Amino acid sequence: MEGAGIDLAVIGGTGLYRLAGLEDPVAHRPDTPYGEPSGPVRIGLLHGSRVAFLARHGESHSVPPHRINYRANLAALQQLGARRVLALNTVGGIGDRFGPRVLACPDQIIDYTWGRISTLCEEPGTEVLHVDFGDPYTPALRAQVLEAAHAAGVEMVDGGCYGATQGPRLETRAEIARMRQDGCDLVGMTGMPEAALARELGLEYACIAIVANWAAGCGGAVAQITLQEVLDNVEVASAAVPAVLREMLRQ
């Protein structure tokens, strides 16, 4: 199956370690110039199309956001034939439209991370790439996601700015207040450098943000955020994702 082409690659975030409905998946562990990906890339059939799935944090959620080998993950998908990558990101909601259990397809991103290898140009002697990143998510693929959601009858917010933080801890109220002032609608820990690396690799890339909780100080939330709350909300919200994928694969 290696190199035969993939209709769509899906990267799953927190709470999303398998792709529902993926038939006869075969595990691949390609060698990449950047080391090993977070786990096996499982390729199978979904509604008659070849689809790849990779759990960003590993299938047992063993890799924290700042330790993810984002370069290896994306390079592995590309080596296996992927050209379109759909990222599923579990996030917190900042803007009023982005409460728990909302699905959104953001169109902008602000990077607050630090210390991560964020480019393919890291090693001496590699080509220096100055890629256009004004639209960090591929507009055509975003349009396909939104069209698929509409066709499937799934509510999805069109647009929004994703603020990528370092993690793995959640943010303070003051940090979220700053992010709101900066224009962020969503907060997560894995949006960057994944989006930028996809652009450097020439991959089409879009995100479905799955809102698991209100960010600190937002939405009137005063209770402490718990992992169980996050997982429960992800389970409910992500139940609509298979219908979106089905329609995307029909396009």
pLDDT in tens, 134-153: 999 999 999 999 999 999 99
Q: What pLDDT sits at residue 24?
A: 94
Across the range 177-188, mean pLDDT stands at: 98
Quote the domain boundaries for residue 94: 8-250
Local confidence band at 127 (pLDDT 50, 70, 90 cut-offs): confident
- By percentage, how much of the chain surpasses pLDDT 90? 85
pLDDT in tens, 89-104: 999 999 999 999 999 9
Give domain status of residue 236, yes or no: yes
The better pLDDT of the pair 230, 247 is held by 247
Across the range 119-130, mean pLDDT stands at: 88
- By percentage, how much of the chain surpasses pLDDT 70? 97
Give domain status of residue 3, yes or no: no
Is pLDDT above 80 for 2?
no
The better pLDDT of the pair 16, 206 is held by 206
Across the range 30-51, mean pLDDT stands at: 95
Give domain status of residue 78, yes or no: yes
Give domain status of residue 2, yes or no: no
Which tokens in the block code for residue 117? Answer: 């290898």
Give domain status of residue 190, yes or no: yes
pLDDT in tens, 61-82: 999 999 999 999 999 999 999 9
Local confidence band at 5 (pLDDT 50, 70, 90 cut-offs): confident
Is 231 buried (19+), middle (13-18) or exposed (0-12) by CB count in 10 A?
middle
Q: Are 12 and 55 in contact (CB under 8 A)?
A: yes
Is pLDDT above 90 for 207?
yes
Is 140 buried (19+), middle (13-18) or exposed (0-12) by CB count in 10 A?
exposed
- Three-state secondary-structure class, residue 106: coil
Q: What pLDDT sits at residue 3?
A: 46
- Count Cβ atoms below 10 Å from residue 227 Cβ, excluding itself: 10
Is pLDDT above 80 for 249?
yes
Is pLDDT above 90 for 225?
no
Give domain status of residue 40, yes or no: yes
pTM of the model: 0.93
DSSP one-letter string for 116-166: S---TT-STTSPP-----SSSS-HHHHHHHHHHHHHHT---EE--EEEE--
Structural domain tally of the chain?
1
Look up the CATH number of the domain holding residue 121. 3.40.50.1580
Give domain status of residue 137, yes or no: yes
Q: Are 243 and 150 in contact (CB under 8 A)?
A: no
Is pLDDT above 70 for 165?
yes
Local confidence band at 184 (pLDDT 50, 70, 90 cut-offs): very high
